[in-house]
């Protein structure tokens, strides 16, 4: 069922805001869950209103990252301003740059293909199974080293692949770091700092593209902002939950959830 003007109800925005907030930073793929919920609600992922709402909800969870890692961000900006790349923060800035390059290349070259997967529930289900596999495998490695340029490159590639709905961005990036034996706290922090340029760039590009197709009558901003606030509040809670789980070495427990949801989607699609 195609979405037409004014069919994005308050209840739809509330549900999508909750889904984005809860799954936005947990390693279970917010894009995959949004695709599933939108399908269930009868909303078309190609509708400009819905795409714009998705962008705004992602901006809401991005604000959470900016607030949660504000001290790291300030230190990185100061190091770059001084052109000091020998300090920990300066090196981290270079690592983020290295990781952002493959993410951008994958996004720009394969974006149309990845976006087509939002309408294909079988792909989402399979992707969730793959996410579960990486989460489960990551906890089998002992994490005891710092980050290097090759680690940053691999994590950046993982982030690019995570544009596929059902592939968790936080799950793939943190798991890649853990599989490379990077310390848990380092992998966690780098994963989210690396997400900032990726989410910001995607939001800006998508907003410019979609805003041309929208009229001022298509969007009622108070309801959109309501969804954004919901995603921000729940996003903060989910981020803190994930941090606690990662530090306790229980990251792989999310794999069972991904496998369960993925299997249900595949079974429902096939039978």
Name the domain count of the chain. 1
Whether pLDDT at 218 is above 60: no
Question: Is 4 within the bounds of a domain?
Answer: no
Residue 1 falls within a domain, yes or no? no
Contact 30, 20 (CB under 8 A): yes
Please report whether residue 240 resides in a domain: yes
Residue 236 resides in a domain: yes
Q: Flag whether pLDDT at 250 surpasses 70.
A: yes
Side-chain-side CA neighbours of residue 184 (13 Å)? 16
Residues with Cβ < 8 Å from 216, sequence gap 6 or more? none
- The reply to whether 113 falls in a domain is yes
**What is the pLDDT of the chain when averaged over all its residues?**
87
The predicted structure's pLDDT at residue 216:
46
> pLDDT per residue over 24-35, tens digit each?
889 999 889 988
| pLDDT digits 0-9 by tens, 111-160 | 889 888 888 899 999 999 999 999 999 877 776 889 999 999 999 999 99
Q: Are 165 and 19 in contact (CB under 8 A)?
A: no
Residue 247 in domain: yes
Q: Is residue 163 part of a domain?
A: yes
Give the structural domain span for 21: 10-270
How many Cα neighbours within 13 Å face the side chain of 223? 18
With cut-offs at 50, 70 and 90, classify the pLDDT of residue 80. Answer: very high
Which residues have CB under 8 Å from 85's CB, separation 6+? 79, 91, 93, 94
């Amino acid at each position: 069922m195609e979405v037409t003007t004014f069919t994005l109800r308050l209840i739809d925005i509330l549900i999508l805001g909750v889904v984005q907030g809860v799954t936005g930073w947990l390693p279970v793929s917010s894009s995959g869950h949004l695709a599933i919920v939108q399908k269930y609600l009868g909303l078309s992922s190609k509708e400009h209103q819905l795409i714009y709402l998705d962008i705004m909800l992602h901006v809401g969870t991005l604000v959470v990252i900016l607030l949660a890692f504000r001290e790291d961000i300030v230190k990185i900006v100061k190091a770059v301003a001084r052109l000091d790349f020998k300090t920990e923060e300066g090196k981290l800035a270079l690592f983020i740059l290295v990781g952002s390059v493959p993410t951008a290349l994958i996004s720009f070259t394969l974006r149309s293909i990845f976006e087509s997967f939002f309408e294909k529930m079988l792909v989402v289900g399979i992707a969730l199974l793959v996410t579960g596999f990486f989460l489960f495998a990551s906890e089998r490695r002992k994490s005891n080293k710092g980050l290097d340029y090759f680690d940053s490159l691999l994590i950046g590639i993982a982030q690019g692949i995570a544009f596929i709905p059902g592939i968790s961005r936080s799950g793939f990036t943190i798991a890649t770091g853990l599989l490379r034996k990077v310390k848990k706290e380092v992998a966690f922090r780098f994963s989210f700092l690396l997400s900032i340029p990726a989410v910001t760039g995607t939001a800006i590009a998508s907003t410019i593209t979609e805003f041309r197709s929208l009229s001022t009558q298509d969007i009622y901003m108070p309801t959109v902002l309501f969804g954004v606030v919901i995603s921000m509040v729940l996003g903060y809670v989910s981020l803190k939950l994930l941090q606690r789980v990662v530090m306790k070495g229980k990251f792989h427990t999310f794999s069972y959830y991904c496998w369960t949801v993925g299997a249900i989607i595949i079974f429902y699609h096939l039978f």
